[in-house]
Amino acid sequence: MKLYFIVFIACFTASACSSQRGSDNVYAQQERYVQQACYSHSAIDSYAENFNIFLTERKKELKVLRPELSSENYQQLDTALNHFADYWQTLNDERDLACEEQAACEFMQLKSPQIKIADSEMCDGSKFMYSVSRAKIISFFSDIERLQLQRTDF
Query: Where in the chain are the domains?
Result: 42-145
For residue 123, what is the enclosing H or E element? none
The 10s digit of each residue's pLDDT in 81-105 is 999 999 999 999 999 999 999 999 9
Q: Percentage of the chain surpassing pLDDT 90? A: 51
Rg (CA), the chain: 26
What CA–CA distances, in Å, run from 102 to 40, 81, 111, 117? 15, 31, 14, 18
Q: φ and ψ at 70, to 5 degrees?
A: -70, 160
- Among 62-66, 115-119, 142-146, 149-153, the range with the most confident prediction by mean pLDDT is 62-66
Q: φ and ψ at 117, to 5 degrees?
A: -70, -45
The model's pTM: 0.74
Q: Average per-residue pLDDT in the chain?
A: 82
The 10s digit of each residue's pLDDT in 106-130 is 898 888 877 665 566 778 888 999 9
The predicted structure's pLDDT at residue 112: 81
- Closest C-alpha to 147, from 45, 62, 48, 32: 62
Q: Which residue has the higher pLDDT, 10 or 39?
A: 39
Show Cβ contacts of residue 141 under 8 Å, excluding neighbours closer than 6 positions: 47, 50, 51, 54, 88
Q: Which amino acid is at 9?
A: I
For residue 154, what is the enclosing H or E element? none
